[in-house]
Amino acid sequence: MEKTNWYAVFTASRAEKRVKERLEQAGIENYLPVREVEFVRDGLVKRLEVPVITGCIFVRVSEINLPSVLSIGGVIALLKEKQGPVVISDEQLDSLRILNERAEMIEVVNGKIPVGSGVRVIQGELTGVQGELVEVAGGHRIMVHVPCLIGVCANVSLDCVKAL
């Protein structure tokens, strides 16, 4: 059996959910992190599920099967570095999943982020998240970094983390 890895693929504008459905129909394991947001329109509060990372969905396939992912309608490109597709580790994806499901509030950070110490959350709602400890005004955050793409941050107490 061929080894599979997680990869990030970019989608057409506002097509993340349709691409997810098409990937599932094709039998391709995928993960689309979404959050529920509230907004006011015409005086009414409405709730809407939106992707955490706009225009991006994660797929788990073997490198040989990447062309089949790129043939799915709405998939635009694969996240790449000079040497080829960027592999996202199981630990990074699991940590992103835990942050998205359990953190009360998260923030997506683009661009350069100060690199801190590697830590693992050992207690509380975010137990199991592995990332970098980032200091911000008034507190600390744990950041799960997806190589060449983004960082996702959530508040964390120093007494809940252990250095790696």
The dihedral sign for the CA sequence 13, 18, 22, 28: positive
In angstroms, rounded to a whole number, what is the distance separating the alpha carbons of residues 16 and 54? 8
Contacts of 61 (CB under 8 A, 6+ apart): 4, 5, 7, 28, 29, 68, 69
Q: Where are the domains of the chain?
A: 4-88, 90-163
CB of 87 closer than 8 Å to CB of 5: yes
| Cα 64 to the center of its chain, rounded Å | 23
Taking CA atoms, 2 is separated from 5, 36, 61, 83, 158, in Å, by: 10, 36, 9, 20, 40
> What class, spelled out in words, does domain 4-88 have in CATH?
alpha beta
In angstroms, rounded to a whole number, what is the distance separating the alpha carbons of residues 161 and 99? 14
- Residue 115 is predicted with a pLDDT of 56
CA angle 112, 114, 120 (to 5 degrees): 115
- Which residues, given as ranges, of the chain have pLDDT below 50? none
4-88 and 90-163 share one fold: no
What is the model's pTM?
Answer: 0.85
Assigned architecture for domain 90-163: Roll (2.30)
